[in-house]
């Protein structure tokens, strides 16, 4: 059907006089109607805007925490599930760890040694001052006291890494009561994204138990063709119209991905994070620098390729003008372009093939 229409259109070009000089095509209103050429006004100016970029919603790495078993343990109770909101310091799991009791016993033994070393040092300092013992013995006592103090600090550090608070460690030294109960708490206010184990499971040290994240603000990983990143700079505004969200660009990648030859852009969502979910795929719009060319989104049917150039046909009083353009983004139905166009002009969107044929001299033209 399209071939038939094109043939009829070319027949009109044979039977009527259509003149063209340079990139201007002179054609009457009757000829325009006969060729089925229709025009439409240019859409609103898009001042330095790149739209339709594919992106994925992600959690900023500094807002994501993995809670693991500090020591070999058995899970006694799991107190939160996936999707639960948690507060900083809230108990999320209780473990039974004989290794914890062993670490506590080591702390108490080291604490005793530290106390004895301090007492010996105080006694030898007094004897050395009175000239009763030699300086070498005093220095030996001082060295042993420092070693005991360092060993005690090491044991305390180990227990802190095991999940015991400073108050709990101090209480242990006062009461000498050993316990194998290991309590894990949330390090932040956030949401439980994943739970990796349940009650009665026996786990080694450093096995993940929970993934907890703060989900406001969220971040974006955006894929953009290299040609579209020329005017993109950190700080540019990002909008997500479909979800009433917005943010800003924080980084522009320096290397191309090997799979689809795009540049990775990173953004942060500052408004509307509650409307989005981590892992969600969306389309975003980014405002480019203020000095970038003006841009319009037009139907693909309005664009032609003539002599390796992309052109559109702009309505003039005498007919049409073939205007060279630069295609910034190619979409399924529309594309974003820039060029020397005025916002009050009309462009041909149907019957473009007849204008292209005339411009190329097909059908008896002079060119």
pLDDT in tens, 276-286: 999 999 999 88
Tell me: the pLDDT tens digits for 257-267? 877 788 999 99
CA-to-CA distance for 237 and 243, rounded, in angstroms? Answer: 15
| Weakest mean pLDDT among 44-48, 97-101, 345-349 | 44-48
Predicted confidence (pLDDT) per residue in 242-259, tens digit: 999 999 999 999 888 877
Tens digits of residue pLDDT in 295-324: 788 888 899 988 888 999 999 988 998 899
The answer to whether residues 286 and 53 touch, using CB atoms and an 8 Å cutoff, is yes
Fold of 64-213: OB fold (Dihydrolipoamide Acetyltransferase, E2P) (2.40.50)
- Topology of domain 2-48+293-359 in CATH is 2.40.420
Asked if pLDDT for residue 1 goes beyond 70, the answer is: no
DSSP state of 363: T
Do the first three CATH levels of 51-59+216-287 and 64-213 match, i.e. the same topology? no
CATH code, residues 51-59+216-287: 2.40.30.170
Q: Which residues lie closer than 8 Å to 232 by C-beta, 6 or more apart? A: 50, 224, 249, 252, 265, 286, 288, 289
Q: List all residues 6 or more positions away from 236 whose beta carbon is below 8 Å from its beta carbon.
A: 248, 249, 286, 287, 288, 289
Residue 48: per-residue pLDDT: 64
In whole angstroms, what is the distance from residue 299 CA to residue 350 CA?
10
Confidence of residue 361 (pLDDT cuts 50, 70, 90): low
Could you state, in order of their start, the residue ranges of all structural domains in the chain? 2-48+293-359, 51-59+216-287, 64-213
């Amino acid at each position: 059907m399209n071939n038939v229409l094109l043939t009829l259109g070319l027949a009109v070009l044979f039977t009527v006089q259509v003149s063209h000089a340079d990139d201007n095509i002179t054609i009457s209103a009757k000829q325009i109607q006969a060729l089925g050429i229709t025009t439409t006004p240019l859409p609103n100016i898009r001042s330095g805007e790149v739209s339709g970029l594919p992106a994925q919603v992600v959690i900023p790495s500094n807002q994501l925490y993995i809670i693991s078993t500090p020591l070999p343990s058995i899970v006694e109770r799991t107190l939160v599930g996936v999707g639960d909101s948690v507060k900083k310091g809230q108990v999320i799991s209780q473990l039974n760890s004989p290794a914890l009791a062993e670490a506590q016993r080591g702390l108490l033994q080291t604490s005793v040694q530290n106390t004895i070393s301090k007492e010996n040092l105080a006694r030898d300092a007094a004897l050395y001052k009175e000239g009763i013992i030699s300086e070498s013995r005093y220095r030996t006592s001082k060295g042993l006291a420092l070693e005991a103090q360092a060993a005690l600090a090491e044991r305390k550090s180990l227990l802190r890494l095991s999940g015991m608070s400073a108050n709990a460690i101090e209480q242990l030294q006062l009461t000498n009561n050993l316990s194998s109960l290991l309590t894990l708490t949330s390090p932040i206010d956030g949401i439980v994204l994943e739970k990796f184990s349940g009650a009665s499971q026996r786990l080694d040290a450093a096995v993940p138990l929970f993934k907890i994240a703060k989900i406001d603000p969220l971040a974006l990983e955006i894929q953009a063709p290299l040609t579209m990143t020329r005017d993109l700079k950190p700080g540019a505004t990002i909008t997500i119209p479909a979800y009433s969200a917005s943010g800003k660009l924080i980084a522009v990648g320096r290397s191309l991905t090997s799979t689809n030859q795009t540049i990775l852009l990173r953004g942060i969502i500052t408004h509307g994070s509650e409307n989005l979910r981590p892992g969600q795929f969306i389309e975003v719009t980014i405002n480019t620098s203020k000095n970038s060319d003006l841009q319009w989104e037009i139907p693909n049917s309005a664009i032609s390729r003539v002599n390796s150039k992309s052109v559109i046909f702009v309505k003039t009083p005498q007919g049409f003008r073939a205007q060279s353009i630069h295609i910034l983004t190619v979409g399924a139905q529309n594309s974003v372009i820039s060029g020397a166009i005025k916002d009050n002009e009309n462009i041909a969107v149907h019957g473009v093939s007849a204008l292209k044929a005339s411009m190329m001299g097909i059908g008896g033209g002079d060119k």
